[in-house]
């Protein structure tokens, strides 16, 4: 059980859904539909199982789409049947997860579509809501972008403050090799770029360059290392960055600025 699901339900239901308790008979059965209300890429469907199981389960839950599927307005995403009280008390939490995660997947698909036809792949970042990283990265992947490192533990990414603390680009690279993990290093100046290449760097991060500047740096690198571009890259600018010859572009907007999409829940009595 994802602890976030339990926390979200406890936060919303608290000591009990008083409205449902006073309005709905204990034994009442109901049927519900999750409907897309706008074009969207759906994500987070497996969370529905966890939500309902946490509240004692339902009679039936049918997922009619898979994460990554494109849904049009008024298309059914999932249906559920069971005790009406359970369906009502879980409604808001279920929609919060589905709307947010589908929003991430929808924005991710827009980024992926924007670079179609180039040799560049879009990556997400660690700029996620606290506690939501795994779910948001799953949603980003469902939308068609790549996952960057999951956290600080699964890859080495040497950034400017690490370089300062280590005593320079060369020193940071040399020390990082003992990790036996993938190593990427950020370079901010022409001198740092040359030092990184001379030090055998195989994956470079170029941050906060304009597309024209990035293209110049990438020509200098000339295939000697993989190149990732980052820093304020938006849906409007990602194509220009992808056309510089970069291998990757990363954007925090995919997770930190995704709009919750419009998904509704309609309940009917059985």
Mean residue pLDDT of the chain comes to 96
Catalytic-role residue among 92, 121, 133, 188 = 92
**Can you give the pLDDT at residue 72?**
97
Supply the DSSP symbol for 264.
Answer: E
251 and 119 together in one domain: yes
Does 127 participate in catalysis according to the annotation?
A: yes
Catalytic-role residue among 17, 67, 136, 186 = 186
Q: What is the pLDDT of residues 145-178, one digit of tens each?
A: 999 999 999 999 999 999 999 999 999 999 999 9
Does 226 participate in catalysis according to the annotation?
A: no
Res. 1: pLDDT tops 80 = no
Average pLDDT over residues 50-61: 97
144 and 25 together in one domain: no
The CATH number assigned to the domain holding 170 equals 3.20.20.70
Q: How far apart are CA 127 and CA 124, in angstroms?
A: 8
**Can you give the pLDDT at residue 230?**
97
251 and 121 together in one domain: yes
Q: Measuring CA to CA, how many Å separate 246 from each of 216, 217, 240, 242?
A: 11, 10, 10, 6
252 and 262 together in one domain: no
131 and 90 together in one domain: no
**Can you give the pLDDT at residue 2?**
86
Task: Give the chain's largest Cα–Cα span.
Answer: 74
Q: How far apart are CA 255 and CA 103, in angstroms?
A: 9
Average pLDDT over residues 244-269: 97
Q: How far apart are CA 256 and CA 258, in angstroms?
A: 6
Q: Are 81 and 270 in contact (CB under 8 A)?
A: yes
Q: What is the number of residues in the chain?
A: 270
**Can you give the pLDDT at residue 61?**
98
Q: How confident is the model at residue 80 (pLDDT cuts 50, 70, 90)?
A: very high
Beta strands, E only, 72-193:
76-83, 121-123, 156-158, 183-187
263 and 249 together in one domain: no
Supply the DSSP symbol for 258.
Answer: P
49 and 153 together in one domain: no
57 and 168 together in one domain: no
Residue 122 belongs to what domain range? 112-256
**Can you give the pLDDT at residue 222?**
96
Token pair recorded at residue 237: 């600018």
Sheet bearing 248-250, strands edge to edge: 121-123, 248-250, 226-230, 203-207, 183-187, 156-158
Q: How confident is the model at residue 83 (pLDDT cuts 50, 70, 90)?
A: very high
Q: How confident is the model at residue 235 (pLDDT cuts 50, 70, 90)?
A: very high
93 and 118 together in one domain: no
The CATH number assigned to the domain holding 36 equals 3.90.1170.20
101 and 225 together in one domain: no
- DSSP secondary structure string for all residues of 25-61: -TT-EEEEEEEESSSEE---THHHHHHHHHTT--SEE
Catalytic-role residue among 127, 133, 188, 226 = 127
Average pLDDT over residues 87-106: 98
119 and 243 together in one domain: yes
Q: What is the pLDDT of residues 194-204, one digit of tens each?
A: 999 999 999 99
Q: How many domains does the chain have?
A: 2
**Can you give the pLDDT at residue 270?**
80
20 and 153 together in one domain: no
Does 137 participate in catalysis according to the annotation?
A: no
Catalytic-role residue among 46, 76, 207, 243 = 207
Res. 58: pLDDT tops 90 = yes
């Amino acid at each position: 059980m994802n602890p976030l699901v339990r926390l979200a339900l406890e936060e919303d239901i608290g000591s009990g859904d008083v409205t449902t308790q006073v309005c709905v008979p204990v034994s009442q059965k109901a049927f519900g539909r999750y409907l897309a209300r706008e074009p969207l890429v759906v994500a987070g469907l497996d969370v529905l199982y966890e939500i309902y199981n946490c509240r004692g389960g339902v009679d039936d839950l049918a997922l009619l789409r898979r994460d990554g599927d494109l849904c049009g307005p008024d298309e059914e995403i999932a249906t559920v049947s069971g005790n009406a009280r359970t369906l009502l008390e879980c409604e808001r939490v279920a929609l919060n997860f589905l709307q947010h995660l589908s929003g991430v997947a929808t924005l991710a698909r827009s980024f992926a579509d924007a670079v179609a036809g180039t040799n560049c792949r879009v990556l997400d970042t660690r700029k996620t809501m606290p506690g939501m990283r795994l779910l948001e990265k799953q949603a980003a992947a469902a939308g068609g972008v790549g996952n960057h490192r999951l956290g600080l533990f699964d890859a080495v990414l040497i950034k400017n403050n690490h370089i300062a603390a280590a005593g320079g680009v060369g020193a940071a690279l040399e020390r990082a090799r003992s990790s036996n993990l993938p190593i990427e290093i950020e370079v901010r100046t022409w001198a740092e770029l040359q030092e990184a290449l001379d030090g055998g760097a195989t994956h470079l991060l170029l941050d906060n360059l304009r597309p024209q500047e990035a293209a110049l740096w990438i020509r200098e690198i000339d295939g000697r290392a993989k190149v990732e571009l980052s820093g304020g890259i938006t849906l409007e600018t990602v194509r220009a960055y992808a056309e510089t010859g970069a291998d990757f572009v990363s954007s925090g907007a995919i997770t930190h600025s995704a709009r919750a999409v419009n998904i509704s829940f309609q309940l009917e009595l059985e």
